Amino acid sequence: MNAEEWVDLEQLMFVEEPLDPDEPRVHPAWLPPEAFRTLGARRVLVHGDGLLVDTVLDEVSRACARYGGRVWHNPSWDVDVDLVLALRGAGELPGPAVEAARAGAGDGTLGTEGFLLTHAGPVTVVLADAPAGLLYGLFHVVRLCAAAFDPTRPPERHRPALRRRMLNHWDNVAVHPVMGQVERGYSGGSIFWQDGRSRRDLARIREYGRLLAASGVNAITVNNVNVARTEALLLTDRLGDVAEIADVLRPYGIRVHLSVTFAAPMVLGGLSTADPLDEKVRGWWAETTRNVYDRVPDFGGYVVKADSEGQPGPFTYGRDHADGANLLADALAPHGGVVHWRAFVYNHHQDWRDRSTDRARAAYDHFAALDGRFRINVILQVKYGPVDFQTREPVSPVIAAMPATRLAVELQVTQEYTGQQRHICHLGPWWSEVLRFAPWGPGGRSVADVVAGAAGAGGGLVAVANTGDDRFWTGHPLAQANLYSFGRLAWNPELDPTAVLDEWMTLTFPPSATADPALVRRTLHEIMDDSWRTYERYTAPLGVGFMVNPDGHYGPGVDGYEYSRWGTYHFADRDGVGVDRSRASGTGFAGQYPPYWAEVYETPETCPDELLLFFHHVPYRHVLRSGSTVIQHIYDTHFAGVEEVAAMRRRWQTLNGMIDPAVYERVAERLDEQVRSATEWRDQINTYFFRKSGVPDERGRRIH
C-alpha cells in the first residue's frame, strides 16, 4: 500500500468531516462508516413501516450512498436484491422472505426485539416480528460483515436473554461542587447537561443512541442517582428537557428513565411529608407520573437511591424499603413503568473501632427479609458485589436470597475503582465471571439466569455509564470496548468476552481500513484480554479491596479508608491482614450465601485465593492454594503487574503509524500514566506490607 492510499483509508476510518454538517465531530467508536462497507455495496430491500424501520432505512440508505449499493423500501414490484430486511406481518412479504419462511426457518415468534438471519438461495434475509428486531438484525449484519452474505451460513435466531439492558448516567444537571458535572465521570462533561441546563446537542445524543442500539442497550437514565434540587426538577418543571432526549433516542429503541428523589413530594410538591403511606403523597406521585407519561408516552420509569449515603428514603417515616418502592410502583403501574430500587444501602457513619458491623452484610440484612413484599413492577437493583464496585469481590449474596423479587444486577462501566479510564482495564472477563457465577453451587442457576427471570420477567442488567462529551466518548479510546461489551453481554451473557472484544476491534478498526489488520488485532488482544487481571495484580491484593486514595479513588492510599466511617477496612497489622467474615469467628457474612458457597467461603483452606482477604484475616506466611505465601504473593503480583503494564506500552508503540494518529496519541499518553501509576501502586503496597510484616522478598527485589 502506498502512502497516498493510506491517507485515503485513514480518512475513511476516522471521519473528520461528517456527512451531515450538523453532526458532531467525534470519534465514530464501533460504527465508523467503513464498518458499513460490505452492507453498503449491496442491493437492499427494506420491508415494513414504523419509526424504527425508518431508522433501518436511514442506516442502509447512508451506507448505500457511500459505497455504491441500492436500497428499496416496500417496492410494489419484484426487485433483484442481495439483502432483505423484512418485518413479518407488514403486508405481503417480498419473495426471498417468503421463501425463507417456507423453508421453515422462520417458524416461531421472534418477540419484540428478536430477529432471524437466514438465506433464500443467494439472498440474505433478516426477519423480525417488531421494528426493534429489525434494527438489531441490521446491526448484526454489520457486525458479521461479509459472513452475513455467505449463503451456506446456517440460519440464526437471536433474542436478547435479558429484556432490560440499561445504562445509568450519573450526570448532574448543575455542576456539583465536589463531584462535578458527572459523578465518577472520566470522559469530560455530560452529553446531556451543562452548567445547570440542557445542552440540547441532539445530534450528539442521536449518535449516542445509535452506538447504544448497535451494542444492544435499550434503556437509559439521564441523571445521577444522587438527586439534588436542580436534578429533581426534571420530573416536573424541566420535563421538557427529558422529553426532548426521549424523542431523540426513541428511533433507536431506547427508553428514557429518570432518577428521582424520594423527597420529591416535599421538594417539588410543597407537601410536609414524603411518607409512602400518606394519601396526599400517593396522590402527588400518581398525578406527577401521569404528567410524565403525557409528555413521554414510552417513559421507562424511576430509579431510586433511598436511605443511602444521605439520600432521603422511607426510614424517616418508620417505613421500610418495600413501602417506599411500592409507592412509586403503584404510580407507575397504570402506565406500564417500572421502578428500579437500589439495594445499595448501608451505614456510612460506621465507627472503625467497631469490628462487629460489616458493610458487606448490609444489603442482605436490609432486603432479604422483604422478599415477596415488592410489587411486580419493582426491580431491585443490586450491585454485583456486596461492597462497592471493587476490582474483585464475591458476588452479592442478595442475588440468591430473593426468589420472589425481580432483580437487576448493577455493573460499573465507568472505571471509578478500576483506573478511571487512565488505565486500560477491559472489564468484559470480570462481568462474564459475575454473570456465570452459580450462587447455589456449580451446575445450578447462574446470576444471568436470575436476572433473566422466568420467561424474561427478570430485572435485567444495569451499568453505570462511562461516557461523556469527550471526543472519544470514553476518555480512553480503548474504554469504548467496556461500553460495547456491557451491551453485548446484557444481550447474551453467555457470549465469550474475548470474542466480544474481537467484534469490537473489527468494527472499530475495520480490517479494510487498517494497514496490517492481523498485527493490530493481535496487539490489541495482547494488551486488553488480560488487562483486568493485570490491574488487579498491581492494586489491592487477594480481594481485600479499596486501598485507594479517598480523595477521588484514584491511585494508592493503603490506609486511606482504614480509620474512616465508610466501613471499608483491611485490618493489616504486624501479623496479618484481611477481614474475618466467617460465621465461626467473624462477622458472619459468609453465612449469607446458600450452603455450597457458605461452606467454601467459611475457611481459609477452602476459600478461593482471589477472595481470601475478603473473607479471612490470615498471617502473612499463610500458604495460599497456589502454594505461595500471602506476603510473597503480594510482592510477586505487584512486580509482575508493573512489568505487564510496561509490556502493554511497548506493544502499543508497535501500532504507531498503523491506526488513526489521534487514537494512537491519546492511548500512548494514558499508557505513560498507567506505567507511572502502576509503579506507584507497586511501591506503596510492597513497602507497606514489608514494613508491617518485616518479611523480605524471597527474590530480593527492591522494596523501599
Contact positions vs ligand GCV (CB under 6 A) = 170, 183-184, 225-226, 305, 309, 344, 388, 416
User: Nearest distance from residue 183's CB to ligand GCV, in Å?
Assistant: 5
Which residue, 215 or 226, is less far from ligand GCV as judged by CB? 226
List % helix, strand, coil for the chain (3-state, nearest 5): 40, 15, 45
Cβ–Cβ under 8 Å, residues 305 and 226: yes
Catalytic residue among 207, 358, 410, 416: 416
Provide the minimum distance between the beta carbon of 359 and ligand GCV in the complex, in angstroms, as a whole number.
11
| Region for residue 679 given its phi and psi (left: phi exceeds 0; alpha: psi -120 to 50; beta: otherwise) | alpha
Specify the residue for cell string 501502586. 681
Cβ-based burial of 432 (10 A; exposed 0-12, middle 13-18, buried ≥19): buried
Within its chain, how far is the Cα of 40 from the centroid? 30
Cα end-to-end span (Å), the chain: 51
Residue 230 φ/ψ, nearest 5 degrees: -60, -40
Residue among 63 and 465 whose Cβ is closer to ligand GCV: 465
CA distance 666 to 660: 10
Min separation Cβ 305 and ligand GCV, Å: 5
- The total number of residues shown for the chain amounts to 704
Closest distance between ligand GCV and the C-beta of residue 226, in Å? Answer: 5
Given the residues 320, 388, 580, 644, the one annotated as active site: 388
Asked whether 165 and 211 are in contact (CB, 8 A), the reply is no
Closest CB to ligand GCV among 272 and 347? 347
Query: Cα separation of 526 and 651, whole Å?
Result: 8
If you ran DSSP here, which 8-state letter would residue 697 be given?
P
d(CA 357, CA 360): 9
Nearer to ligand GCV, 32 or 394 (CB): 394
Q: How far is the CB of 348 from ligand GCV (least distance, A)?
A: 8
CA distance 135 to 140: 9
The x, y and z cell numbers of residue 482, run together, are 467496556
Q: Residue 344 or residue 652: which is nearer to ligand GCV going by CB?
A: 344
Upper half-sphere CA count for residue 496 (Cβ side, 13 Å): 5
For ligand GCV, the closer of residues 302 and 344 by Cβ is 344
The three-class DSSP label of residue 645 is helix
Q: How far is the CB of 6 from ligand GCV (least distance, A)?
A: 44
Task: Give the span between the Cα atoms of 522 and 120, in whole angstroms.
Answer: 36
Cα gap 639→702, rounded to integer Å: 10
Query: Annotated catalytic, 309?
Result: yes
Dihedral-angle region of residue 677 (phi above 0 means left; psi in -120 to 50 means alpha; beta otherwise): alpha
Least distance in angstroms from the C-beta of 485 to ligand GCV: 20
Instruction: Bin 455: left if φ > 0, else alpha if -120 < ψ < 50, else beta.
Output: left
Return phi, psi of residue 399, to 5°.
-65, -30
Q: Are the C-beta atoms of residues 480 and 29 closer than 8 Å to each other?
A: yes
Set 309, 354, 573, 698: catalytic member:
309
Least Cβ distance, residue 328 to ligand GCV (angstroms): 17
User: CA angle at residue 162 from 288 to 484, to 5 degrees?
Assistant: 95
Residue 701 burial (CB count, 10 A):
12
- Taking the least distance from each CB to ligand GCV, the nearer of 215 and 414 is 414
Residue (309 or 351) nearer to ligand GCV, CB = 309
Q: Which lies closer to ligand GCV via its Cβ, residue 16 or residue 551?
A: 551
In this structure, the strands spanning 156-158 and 171-176 are unpaired
**Are β-strands 193-194 and 197-198 bridged in parallel, bridged antiparallel, or unpaired?**
antiparallel
**CB 301, min distance to ligand GCV, A:** 18
Rounded Cα distance between 99 and 496, Å, is: 33
Q: Is the dihedral of CA 501, 502, 503, 509 positive or negative?
A: positive
C-alpha cell at 60: 442502509
In whole angstroms, how close is the CB of 417 to ligand GCV at the nearest point? 8
Closer of 208 and 417 to ligand GCV (Cβ): 417
Q: Which residues are catalytic?
A: 309, 388, 416
